[in-house]
Chain A
Amino acid sequence: MQGQKRAAVRIAILEDDVALAGLVEMTLAEAGHSCEVFGEGQVLVRALHRSTYDLLILDWNVPGLSGLEVISWVRDNLEIAPPSLMLTSRSAEEDIVAGLTAGADDYVIKPVAPVVLKARINALARRAYPAALSGFEHYGSYCFDTRAETVELSGEPIALTAKEFALALLLFRNMHRALARAYIFEAVWGRNPNLPTRTLDVHISNVRTKLHLRPDNGVKLVPIYSYGYRLEALAS
């Protein structure tokens, strides 16, 4: 993806399982991030009072304040809420939706492959998108020309409507990031679009078919049930 060197990110990890915390810490350190592990919710909240973190990785079930409660506290009390990622064993769909709607920016189920964790963390840490001067954006074998609003897959141009192009670009720019339906709607169709909810699904389906967003092309479009969508780049 974008080949530029990223600045180190300061990450707070809420995790009571030492082995898992160790794995996460190790994985992120490899990616050049600095991590701090907290075993209890209250301890993390106290730390958030005095120092700033760029990103939070939260387990749901921990002693004291749960990960979900920490997210609520952060939303209510911090001026600039850092992006947060739920990393938990709770695998039920309802839990995923509950976590995301409570304010988590992403939700990862344990056990997690280090490569996936790195990709998700990087997606969250990437706050702004440096606009390429050339107007071309490259994502794997996909190349977007943002001025002409055209897209090529392995050099083959693919015809998209304006909305489909906007939607595809949004997905690619937010690679590995869970996008809420409302967010996508607003980004592509503007505020308060009076459209049937199926419209988004139809467009997603069209983009997926036309751009062949399939694992064969190194990407996978994942629906997050009753929440939204996420585009993932597969590790080659």
Chain B
Amino acid sequence: MRVRRHLKLRTQWWLIAIVTSLLVMLMTMDRTMERFDNGIYDHLLQLVPSPSSDAILLVEIDDDSVRRIGRWPWNRATHAALIDRLNAAGAKAIGYDVLFTEPTDAGNDDALARSMASGAPVYLPVLPGLSSGSGAAAILPIDLFRNAAAGIGGATIAPDPDGVVRAAPRSDQGPGRSQLLMRVMAQSLAGGRKVSLQGRLIPFGGGAGRWPEIPAAAVLAGEVPAEFVKGKIVLVGVTASGLGSRYATPAGGVLSGLEIQAYLLQGLRAGTMMMQASLSSCLVAGLLPLWILMLGLGPFRRMPALACLALCSALVLGLSICALMLLRIWLPPSAALTGLALAYPIWGWRQLAATERFMRAQLERLQEQPMLVPQSDVVHTERGVEYTIALLNAAITRHREMRHFVADRLDQLPDATIVSDLNGAILLANVAARKLFAAEVGGLQEGSSAASIMSRCRLAGSGEAVRFPPAIEEPIACEVQLDQGRFFLVGMAGQTSAEGGCVGWVIRFVDVSEARAAQKQRDDVVQLLTHDMRSPQASILAVLETAPSDRISPRESGIIRHYAERTLQLADGFVQLARAENLEYALEEVDLGDMLMDAIDDLWPQSKAKYIDIVTRGDERLLVMVERSLLTRALVNVIGNAIKYSMQGTTITCALSSEPRGDGSMWAVCAIEDQGPGIEPTLKQAIFERFHRGPVGLGPRTNGAGLGLSFVHTVMIRHHGQIECYSELGRGTGFMLKLPLQKGNSTSRDFA
């Protein structure tokens, strides 16, 4: 249920995108980031090429001028003289940034007015109105000068809140406000062309000392050559310390008001003023990179997240620089950058949180799974990352324990066992394997190959090399000889992953040298019995056969023959039992009826001698997978017993049938019934007890029957069959032999 409470990552993506978008919009509209934007702007402005400087000349009423002419304010006659001097030198226009807002001596005023009216047009500043309310109008120069001047306008300078002058003031807008002096000048000098003040940002380019400056005193003293002034727009203003203000500018220097006016004038004349971007373009420029970033992080992931962030940031800055340089529009980048800087870590954090949550859920699932080795439970009281860390710790411990457990169990296996990957590189090997292959592989280091070990093995018998890795991913078992020495039963089983694919091999070497030696010994015993013990008996019989009848009496000859034949029978019985127990069965598909017929034919002399009729019933074809000789021999033993215990002239019935086993498959059944005396219930029990006893040769000595039935029992068990005995005293005995019926058994006898 806890997982349910967490929003899907997709929803979180939308949330982050929308919230950061809103934040960017808010910051853009609220100008929250203005200080940062200003900093960026100030730096970028230095990239803007500086304006041409040869059209404007600054005449400064500087400290030197004040010292030489006299203390400020000067007599207006001096001003008139300065204007006259400039006119005489051929100035194109004169911006005279000195306030003449109240009348002084009439003669001097008249002289100044005359100077203004004659020659180059003179432009005068107005004193901006007091800032209290809209009704405060600007204080204009007195009418005399207003009429003489070519134009008047505001020449104030308005620094931004951070004290840096970046834009022309807005004083020329709104009712009752005068136009900017510099705009008035530019307008009238442009000769009718409209000078726009759309862009208010001043293109500062060269900082202080950009414009040619000459002291007013030098002009008055006639020290300035006329060609220096000729054709230029002359701006006259006060820069003397204590009289004129100085301002910080983005171009990286402190400029006098006069210099700022010069930059403004030049910007207006050249049309290089720069514009603050509109709110809508700011919003677009702010939101576009943010969404590119969000799409790049979320649904359209094409590159690393960090690269995406760098790209988007570069886009923002590039957009700002290009707009400023090419379009002269200032697009503040800070809001957009802040948006990117917020969205990226938040999204990363949410992703990390989602990963952690998933990991925790998986680790909890792992924790809930039953463990082979005991482990401590993770306390659930801890929350958050500590809990996850605890879980992860537990998982790592679990993995380590598991590996240890596997290695441990592997070591405890008595057989050399190797775990390899699909290519045969050895991943694990137990103690027995290390001991076995230490000499040649030099201690089973990880990375040594199973193929090199298998190359030392030869298939027992054929001596062929063992293929590794095996072609088929099925369990493989074969007997091999290692370095022409010991024999091993090699089992190769595909190692499957939890998903079911084959990921490697588990190879087991079971030492069967001793078993082989024992087998060899048993074979020798059988050999002894089958040949060395039989031969003398055969010779005895041969001697009896060839001996002249006058040398040995027929009775004695008969007795000797009987004992020799008994010995042969015993040897045969033992050999057959040994074969039934030890032999690797070569199974073939045989009809049970055919074998029954073989058995009956084999016993024909015996049955004929006792006039016993052997009747077979059922002509169903019953195919069974058997070792034909052993099964026929088993039938011979059972029927032979029946003949042995039956009275003369009775009938033995052999019935063939099939019956269901219950698990869908069928039994092939052969029931052999005689009409003999039957078996005492206690003896019947004994028969079955004897069946369960081990090698009969070690059991109590009885007559031949025991050996025969033990053989039958062994053969039936080895064929996954059953044998049942039922008997009624005085009525007869029956043995029921059941074998698994082959699938696809054809019931028709008219085959081919």
**A interface list, Cβ under 8 A from B:** 17, 19-20, 22-23, 26, 60-61, 88-93, 95, 110-111, 114, 163, 198-199, 201-206, 208-209, 214-216, 220-223, 225-226, 234
Contacts and interface: CB of A to CB of B under 8 A. Distances in A.
Of all A-B residue pairs in the complex, the 9 with the closest CB atoms, nearest first, are A215-B604, A110-B538, A23-B542, A111-B538, A89-B534, A111-B541, A225-B629, A89-B535, A19-B542
Contact of B751 (A202, A221, A225): A202
Interface residues of B, number: 37
Interface string B328-362: 00000000000000000000000000000000000
B514 interface: no
A92 B523 CA distance: 11
Contacts of B540: 19
Given A89-B530, A92-B526, A110 B535 contact: yes
B543 A201 contact: no
Interface in B663-688: none
Contacts of B579: 92-93
Nearest to B572: A91
B617 to A, nearest CB: 14
A199 B746 CA distance: 13
28 contacts: A17-B535, A17-B538, A19-B539, A20-B539, A22-B542, A23-B542, A23-B546, A26-B546, A61-B535, A88-B531, A89-B531, A89-B534, A95-B530, A110-B534, A110-B538, A111-B538, A111-B568, A198-B589, A199-B751, A201-B590, A202-B591, A203-B752, A205-B591, A214-B597, A220-B604, A223-B594, A225-B628, A234-B604
B590 A208 contact: no
Contact of B749 (A22, A206, A215, A225): A206
Nearest to A214: B601
Given A20-B542, A23-B542, A205-B594, A91 B534 contact: yes
B751 A17 contact: no
Interface in B566-616: 568, 572, 575, 579, 586, 588-591, 593-594, 597-598, 601, 604-605, 608
A98 to B, nearest CB: 13
A192 B544 CA distance: 49
Contact of B575 (A92, A111, A226): A92
Interface string B399-442: 00000000000000000000000000000000000000000000
Given A95-B530, A209-B749, A223-B628, 6 more contacts: A19-B546, A20-B539, A22-B542, A60-B531, A221-B601, A223-B598
Contact of A61 (B531, B589, B594, B598): B531
A61 B534 CA distance: 12
Interface of B: 526, 530-531, 534-535, 537-543, 545-546, 568, 572, 575, 579, 586, 588-591, 593-594, 597-598, 601, 604-605, 608, 628-629, 632, 749, 751-752
A114 to B, nearest CB: 7
A178 to B, nearest CB: 15
Among the interface residues B535, B586, B589, B605, which one has the most CB atoms of the partner chain A within 10 A?
B535
Among A22, A61, A92, residue most surrounded by chain B Cβ atoms (within 10 Å): A92
Contacts of A220: 601, 604
Given A20-B542, A90-B530, A202-B751, A215 B601 contact: yes
A202 B546 CA distance: 43
A139 to B, nearest CB: 17
Given A91-B530, A205-B591, A223-B628, A111 B542 contact: yes
A22 B537 contact: no
B594 A201 contact: yes
Contacts of B598: 221-223
Contact of A205 (B568, B593, B629): B593
B599 to A, nearest CB: 11
B315 to A, nearest CB: 78
Contacts of A198: 589
Contacts of B608: 215
Nearest to B750: A206
Given A199-B752, A203-B752, A20 B530 contact: no
A22 B572 CA distance: 25
A204 B629 CA distance: 17
B214 to A, nearest CB: 123
A25 to B, nearest CB: 9
A209 B750 CA distance: 12
A204 B628 CA distance: 15
B593 A202 contact: no
**Residue among B537, B540, B541, B575 with the most chain A CB within 10 A?**
B541
B546 A22 contact: yes
Contacts of B752: 163, 199, 202-203
A20 B541 CA distance: 9
Contacts of A17: 535, 538-539, 542
B21 to A, nearest CB: 80
A93 B629 contact: yes
Contacts of B542: 17, 19-20, 22-23, 111
